Amino acid sequence: MDIFKKCRATVEAVKRAKEINIYPYFTPIESVQDHRVKINGREYIMIGSNGYLGLASDERLKRAAIEAVEKYGSTCSGSRFLNGTLDIHLKLERELAEFFEKDEAIVFSTGFQTNLGIISAIAGKDDVVIIDRQDHASIIDGCRLSFAEVKKFKHNDMNDLERILKSIPHNKGKLIVVDGVFSMEGDVINLPEVVRLKNKYNARLLVDDAHGIGVMGEKGRGVCEHFNLLNEVDIIMGTFSKSFASLGGFVVSEKDVITHIRHTARALIFSASMTPASVASALKSLEIIKTEPQRRERLWEVTEKVRKGFKELGLDIGNSTTPVIPVIIGEDEKCFAFWKMLFENGIFANPVIAPATPPGRALIRTSYMATHTDEDIDIVLDVFARCAKVFGLVK
């Protein structure tokens, strides 16, 4: 059989979606990714971005990136392991470790590579990795690369997590890996219970807090700080592509763990390092996160206004408690059609279908930014109200 057969099947599916004008992916944006964007010359309200603090358009980040390019050039032309470490990489790592009150940090070129690197470096064929069924794809792929045994517990179900932990032999190394904020439905891991169980069963814990850092916690240190458990979580992972408005990922932990990852993580050793512009903009964002709490305050004002509005409309928003607020639609085709109507009315959101969500639970993923205006949100709520009536989601 021709191994390319599957490729042609994908092509046909994409072609059909484009023919009936419901293909929602790879839309080219012509402007900075802020609360409003330009697509084909038309302005759209952006509620599909992960730039929660609205820093992508901040002039200070732009200037930091430009100055870094002027000093260091456009790339490091190699991996961190060899010629690709700059002094600003080390500065960023020191500041991250201090921010999270951990011994050390290491930065990767992307968030996806960060999870690949951490998990495959820490877990091996004699270990067990226990993950939430709705963990991010990078966690799943990191588990595959580790060659460890993988066990999945029901989403945010602490009884099921304990059942699995109980079944693992004492002589096995155990790593629990969870998202802090689940990126599709915006709900938060029951971290206090996860920590209790990891201590009870002598496991280690990695929290992927990509969508929590910069957003949650008194100082913006994410879900671990939100629950006052920074010191109880063994490894914290984050990304620079969301609240930090840059590109890359990082991990903070105790010194021995970071030293091990630094010298064994293939995703780090065999990848070119973060570009100077990305490092400089991440450093500037970290400074802003630490010194401008009003951005988080505004983000939560916007979030609560949307959440209240969606609930008053009668929309199903699942268990979201964060600036990621889904609208549950149901079937895939209905979800794509709903997305199309939003887009035609000037709203950029994201349709999400299986396997990113359970089958039959397709949703419109919306997410909010500190730079959204009250006018933006009034328009969003009005458009959702009209679309929801057309599709029979509300009376």
Q: What is the pLDDT of residues 42-85, one digit of tens each?
A: 999 999 999 999 999 999 999 999 999 999 999 999 999 999 99
Greater model confidence, 357 or 254? 254
Lowest-pLDDT choice from 162-166, 269-273, 319-323, 354-358: 354-358
* Both tokens assigned to 272: 């070119």
Average pLDDT, the chain: 96
Cα 161 to Cα 155: distance, rounded to the nearest angstrom: 9
Structure confidence at residue 22 as a pLDDT band (50, 70, 90)? confident
By CB atoms closer than 10 A (0-12, 13-18, 19+), residue 7 is: exposed
pLDDT of residue 356: 83
**Which one is catalytic: 183, 241, 243, 285?**
183
pLDDT of residue 200: 98
* Both tokens assigned to 123: 């877990």
Q: With left for phi above 0 and alpha for psi between -120 and 50, is residue 160 left, alpha or beta? A: alpha
Given a cut of 90, whether residue 394 has pLDDT beyond it is no
The residue type found at 329 is I
Given a cut of 90, whether residue 275 has pLDDT beyond it is yes
User: Mean per-residue pLDDT for 352-365?
Assistant: 90
Given a cut of 90, whether residue 342 has pLDDT beyond it is yes
DSSP label at 230?
A: G
Q: With left for phi above 0 and alpha for psi between -120 and 50, is residue 64 left, alpha or beta? A: alpha
**Which one is catalytic: 174, 242, 284, 372?**
242
Cα 372 to Cα 391: distance, rounded to the nearest angstrom: 26
Cα 18 to Cα 365: distance, rounded to the nearest angstrom: 21
Q: What is the pLDDT of residues 28-38, one digit of tens each?
A: 999 999 999 99
**Which one is catalytic: 211, 226, 284, 372?**
211
* pTM above threshold 0.85: yes
By CB atoms closer than 10 A (0-12, 13-18, 19+), residue 261 is: buried
Residue carrying the six token digits 């960023």 = 92
By CB atoms closer than 10 A (0-12, 13-18, 19+), residue 152 is: middle
* Both tokens assigned to 69: 């390019």
Given a cut of 80, whether residue 395 has pLDDT beyond it is no
Structure confidence at residue 354 as a pLDDT band (50, 70, 90)? confident
pLDDT of residue 355: 86
Chain CA centroid to CA 237, Å:
10
pLDDT of residue 323: 98
Cα 196 to Cα 298: distance, rounded to the nearest angstrom: 33
Rg of the Cα atoms in the chain: 21
Closest CA to 68 of 87, 84, 54: 87
Instruction: For residue 183, indicate whether it is catalytic.
Output: yes
Determine phi and psi for 181, rounding to 5 degrees.
-110, 125
Cα 65 to Cα 59: distance, rounded to the nearest angstrom: 10
Q: Where along the chain do its domains lie?
A: 17-46+293-390, 59-291
Instruction: For residue 167, indicate whether it is catalytic.
Output: no
Structure confidence at residue 88 as a pLDDT band (50, 70, 90)? very high
59-291 folds as: Aspartate Aminotransferase; domain 2 (3.40.640)
Q: Per CATH, is 17-46+293-390 categorized as 3.90.1150.10? A: yes
Cα 355 to Cα 253: distance, rounded to the nearest angstrom: 31
Instruction: For residue 242, indicate whether it is catalytic.
Output: yes
Pairing label, strands 350-352, 362-367? antiparallel
User: Mean per-residue pLDDT for 308-323?
Assistant: 97
Q: List helix spans (H) across the chain.
A: 5-19, 59-72, 87-100, 111-122, 137-146, 158-167, 191-200, 223-226, 255-264, 266-269, 276-291, 293-313, 332-344, 374-390
Greater model confidence, 291 or 23? 291
Closest CA to 93 of 217, 257, 279, 327: 279
Pairing label, strands 104-108, 249-253? antiparallel
**Contact residues for 308 (Cβ-Cβ < 8 A; gap 6+):** none
Cα 108 to Cα 90: distance, rounded to the nearest angstrom: 12
